[in-house]
């Protein structure tokens, strides 16, 4: 039950701006929050402990909100886009790839942070996320709006967009 709570309240916003845009906005908030945190890191570190936490909560909160928005939208898209007979395989493959790459990404990020420092890794990763979000604005995903009913769809067509 607890892991379902981040999605509470996202459905009305997804209906307003569309499912694809919800995903892209979530990615932008995730990257933007971490970018702001990285850029402000030295200023935040110079603050007294209480104020450093209070100030860091804002960009961190934007990132966490972005993760929540993009995850809920991604999981919904992952259920809506594949044909029904392929849905289970798509979900299984997606989860297998994502969970398999987590330890590899963590190790690579740790090694890179040791080599160049944590700040450049945060700046590079958050910039990459922002770049992906910007590129997704140009993709058909940006106009994908469907939220109700899970049906096989050609998402490049116009039946569920707009």
Q: Which residue has the tokens 């899970």?
A: 150
* Predicted local distance difference test score (pLDDT) of residue 81: 84
Q: Which residue has the tokens 């007294």?
A: 48
Tens digit of pLDDT for each residue in 22-71?
A: 999 999 999 999 999 999 999 999 999 999 999 999 999 999 999 999 99
Of residues 147 and 17, the one with the higher pLDDT is 17
Tens digit of pLDDT for each residue in 76-109?
A: 888 888 888 999 999 999 999 999 999 999 999 9
* Predicted local distance difference test score (pLDDT) of residue 1: 36
Say if residue 6's pLDDT is above 50: no
Say if residue 73's pLDDT is above 80: yes
For the chain, what is the largest distance between any 2 Cα atoms, rounded to a whole number of angstroms? Answer: 57
The pTM of the whole model exceeds 0.85: no
CA–CA separation, 76 vs 124, rounded Å? 28
Tens digit of pLDDT for each residue in 102-118?
A: 999 999 999 999 999 99
* Predicted local distance difference test score (pLDDT) of residue 30: 97
Write down the mean pLDDT value for the chain.
84
Phi-psi region of 152 (alpha: psi -120 to 50; beta: other; left: phi over 0): beta
Candidates 87, 84, 63; CA nearest to 75 is 87
């Amino acid at each position: 039950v607890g892991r379902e709570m981040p999605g509470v309240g996202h459905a009305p916003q997804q209906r307003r701006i569309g499912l694809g845009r919800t995903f892209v906005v979530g990615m932008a908030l995730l990257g933007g929050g971490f970018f702001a945190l990285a850029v402000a890191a030295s200023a935040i570190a110079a603050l007294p402990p209480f104020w450093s936490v209070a100030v860091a909560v804002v960009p961190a909160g934007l990132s966490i909100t972005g993760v929540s928005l993009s995850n809920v939208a991604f999981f919904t898209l992952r259920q809506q886009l594949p044909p029904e007979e392929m849905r289970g395989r798509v979900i299984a493959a997606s989860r297998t790839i994502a969970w398999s790459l987590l330890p590899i990404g963590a190790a690579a990020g740790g090694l890179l942070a040791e080599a160049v420092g944590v700040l450049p890794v945060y700046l590079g990763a958050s910039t990459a996320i922002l770049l992906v979000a910007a590129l997704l604005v140009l993709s058909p995903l940006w106009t994908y709006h469907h939220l109700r009913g899970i049906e096989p769809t050609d998402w490049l067509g116009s039946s569920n967009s707009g």
